[in-house]
Structures are given as structure tokens and as C-alpha cells.
Amino acid sequence: MDLKKFIIGVTAASALSLGYVGSASAHAISIGYANSGPGSVTIWLGTYSSGHAADALEGSMNLVGVLGNAFPSTTVAFSQLSGHGAAFKPTGLVDGTTNFYIPNISDANAALVGSEAGFNASCPACGPVDHWQGVTFAGLAAGSYQFTWIPIASPTAQWDILNNNMNGIFDLTGVINPPTGVPEPATTALLGLGLAGLGLIRRKKQKAA
């Protein structure tokens, strides 16, 4: 999977909070995506421990094709929860490849980074990410997509993202319709022998007739 190309874009329409948070609070600080079947991708937001008694789903994600991709603007509510703890990190989220972090809580224009350490350097009392909420989009084709997180009217600290740079343009080509496996040489050879054997049997039957 080669998803190192991504362009960070800030969506002016999103009114999201920006500021320092202490260890007693929580905010969504990571965004990632993983294949969920042919033409389907699940987008995950990650947040760190908030001290809440229970986790809850909040908000929606808007996806629209850009840079020549004709996928129409589509908004879907988050419907999946995963956590708590590193063991519950959704399959397919690979830091620096399909999963990224806010690098600096005081700079809304800074590019996302590929490791959680980059975020923790600006907020030592925050993190680590220990639970996630996800949303699945279907009918996708290879190409670039604009992600826009749409919070509820009064988001809890748990799912209030720290700054707008988690809204951006991501190339999902590497996780949509991944290439099918190529048979190993030995497997190909055995298949050829099997077909040759069938041909010999057919010819013998024809001669016997």
C-alpha cells in the first residue's frame, strides 16, 4: 500500500475548537482509513482517554471526490466504536501510511504527521489514542477524496477535534479495490499440469470411442 501522498486542506466551513487540553480532557487527534471490502473504506477518528463513564458515537463524516474524482458529496454518521487500549486499534490503520496525527495543537495549518509522538511533543499530558469511532463509505473508486468531519451541535470533549487540519484531501487509491493476489510460480505450474492431464484423458476417451 503506497499512501504517502496526501494533501492537507483546511475546510473553512467547519467551526471546530482549537486550544490546549489537559489530561482530564480529551479530543480527537488522529484520522485514518482502511479497506472494508471491494469499493468500501472505513474512516476512523481516534481520541485519547477522557474519563467519560461510557463512550458514545458523535457526528458524521462527509466524503466528496476531488482532483478529477467524480464521487458525489456524501455524508454518513459514525456507526462503529473500537476501544479501549492499543489492542483495539482498528485493523488497517498504519501510522504514516493510512493513519495520521495532529502535530501541534496551536497551529491549525500544520501538516498531519505519521506518528503519535509528534502530537505528544506539543501536549505531553495528552494521549495516547485509545479508542476510535468509524464510518464506512461504499461505491468508491481509486482517487482523491476530501474528508470533512461534521460534529454535532455541541460536541463532547471526547470527539471535539483539536484543529481543522484533520479535514483534508487523501488519496485512497491504495485501499480501494486492492490488487488481487498473483499465483505463485509453483501454483501456476501445478495448474498447467492439471490442465494437461485433463487434455490427455479427453484424447484417450475420443480414441476409445
Render pLDDT for 114-143 as a digit per residue (tens, 0 to 9).
888 777 676 777 778 888 999 999 999 999
Arithmetic mean of pLDDT, 79-96: 89
CB 191 within 8 A of CB 164: no
Task: With a cut of 60, say whether residue 172 has pLDDT above it.
Answer: yes
What are the domain boundaries of the chain? 6-175, 180-209
Q: What is the dihedral sign for C-alpha 115, 170, 129, 103?
A: positive
CB 27 within 8 A of CB 161: yes
pLDDT of residue 104: 65
Counting Cβ atoms within 10 Å, is residue 140 exposed (0-12), middle (13-18) or buried (19+)? buried
Higher-scoring residue by pLDDT: 95, 83? 95
3-class SS of residue 155:
coil
